[in-house]
Amino acid sequence: MRLDAEGRRGLTLISPTLIYALVMLAAPLAMVVTFSFWTQNYLDIDTTFTLDNYHEAWTQPIYQTLMARSLIISVVVTVVTVLLAFPVAYYISFRVTRRKTLWLFLVTIPFWTSYLLRVFLWKVILGYNGVLNSALMGMGFIDEPLTFLLYNANAVVLTLAHAWAPFAILPIFVALEKIDRSLLEAAEDLGDGPWRRFRRVTLPLAMPGVIAATLIVLIPTVGDFITPRLVGGTDGLMIANMIQIQVGRANNAPLGAALAISSMVVVGTLSVLIFLVGRRFGGRTR
């Protein structure tokens, strides 16, 4: 293939990113896909093509349970996060008139500490002798510490929803900022009260931001393994923890790879569905 000067310049410009993406993303992904069709023997790997790993991943009850739980947890996290993020984004976009940048800056404050530290902080808050239990006992509301706070799926939802909030707030904020304010006045002028106007104009026009926020939160949380590991207990384990176990302790990388690819397909399908449904709800794209 011959390239003209412009084509060469374009390729040069994108090549650092391209090489990075190929080496760090495409190559590992290709490796994982390849691995998923192999078989682990005790010390070596049988490289004959097989679908056994996928068969196991899709039929064994434990994997089904973990996959379902991961999906449920991340869907709940996503719903909670987006529902809580929307009012914040709305407030900053519509009510804050001065120093919007400062408000956005404040939203990012949780990111100033590491993700791991934040998860540990939730342990401190929710634990048996944690802040919440001590406070409630100190005030006399309860006689002994509550145990349903930590080491279960609720704790995972809470921790993840907190951690991902800014990622949901920002795209919704951007979508709300882009709404021409005269459209809102037009809706009011044509007889809409605040709520009806929100339903008929603001929400449909903010839909691209809501879809973006949903996908940004949903996709990574399905695969999260630190949070379930630290605050999830046994009830809160997710598919990523199982993948980690298979690749690590269980010494069955091919099965781990098959689980990873399977969850990728599931999340991918779900994302496409959400995208299509969201677009429909947001009205015809015009």
Partner 1 sequence: MTMDTTTTPRSIIELKDVRKSYGKVTALHGIDATIREGEFFSLLGPSGCGKTTLLRLIAGFDEPTSGSIEIDGKPMAGISANRRPTNMVFQSYAIFPHLSVAENVGYGLVPKRMPKAEIAAEVDKALRMVDLSGYGDRGAHELSGGQRQRVALARALVMRPKVVLLDEPLSALDKKLREQMQVELRALQQSIGITFILVTHDQEEAMIMSDRIAVMFDGHIAQLDSPQALYRHPVSERVASFIGVMNFLPATAKAAGEGELALDIAALGAVTLPVAAVPEGISPAKVTKIGVRPEMLTVLFDDSDHAERVTEGVVVSTSYYGDMTYYSIVLDGAEKPVTISMRNTAGRAVAPVGARLRIGWGAESIVLFS
Place of tokens 């999260």: 224
* Closest separation in Å from C-beta 35 to partner 1: 46
Closest to 169 measured CA to CA, from 224, 124, 104: 104
Asked whether the CA dihedral 179, 180, 181, 183 is positive or negative, the reply is negative
Virtual torsion, Cα 149, 154, 155, 156, nearest 10 deg: 170
Stretch that binds partner 1, among 3-11, 117-125, 198-206, 215-223 (CB under 8 A): 198-206
> Is 204 one of the binding residues for partner 1 (CB under 8 A)?
yes
Q: Terminus-to-terminus CA distance in the chain, angstroms? A: 39
Three-class secondary structure of residue 196 per DSSP: helix
CB-side neighbour CA atoms (13 Å) of 74: 29
* Closest separation in Å from C-beta 84 to partner 1: 25
Size of the site for partner 1 (CB under 8 A): 21
> Is 286 one of the binding residues for partner 1 (CB under 8 A)?
yes
Q: Which of 19, 106, 186, 273 binds partner 1 (CB under 8 A)?
A: 186
> Is 182 one of the binding residues for partner 1 (CB under 8 A)?
yes
Comparison of 52 and 185: residue with beta carbon closer to partner 1: 185
Beta partners for residue 40, in sequence order? 45
> Is 177 one of the binding residues for partner 1 (CB under 8 A)?
no
Cα→Cα distances 2→7, 10, 17, 213, 271, Å: 9, 14, 22, 42, 38
Q: Which of 46, 52, 185, 235 binds partner 1 (CB under 8 A)?
A: 185
Comparison of 12 and 182: residue with beta carbon closer to partner 1: 182
Comparison of 79 and 203: residue with beta carbon closer to partner 1: 203
In order, the DSSP letters of 105-136 are: HHHTGGGGS-HHHHHHHHHHHHSTTSHHHHHH
> Is 98 one of the binding residues for partner 1 (CB under 8 A)?
no
> Is 277 one of the binding residues for partner 1 (CB under 8 A)?
no
Q: Which of 180, 248, 250, 277 binds partner 1 (CB under 8 A)?
A: 180
> Is 183 one of the binding residues for partner 1 (CB under 8 A)?
yes
Contact residues: partner 1, CB under 8 A: 180, 182-183, 185-193, 196, 200-201, 204-205, 282-284, 286
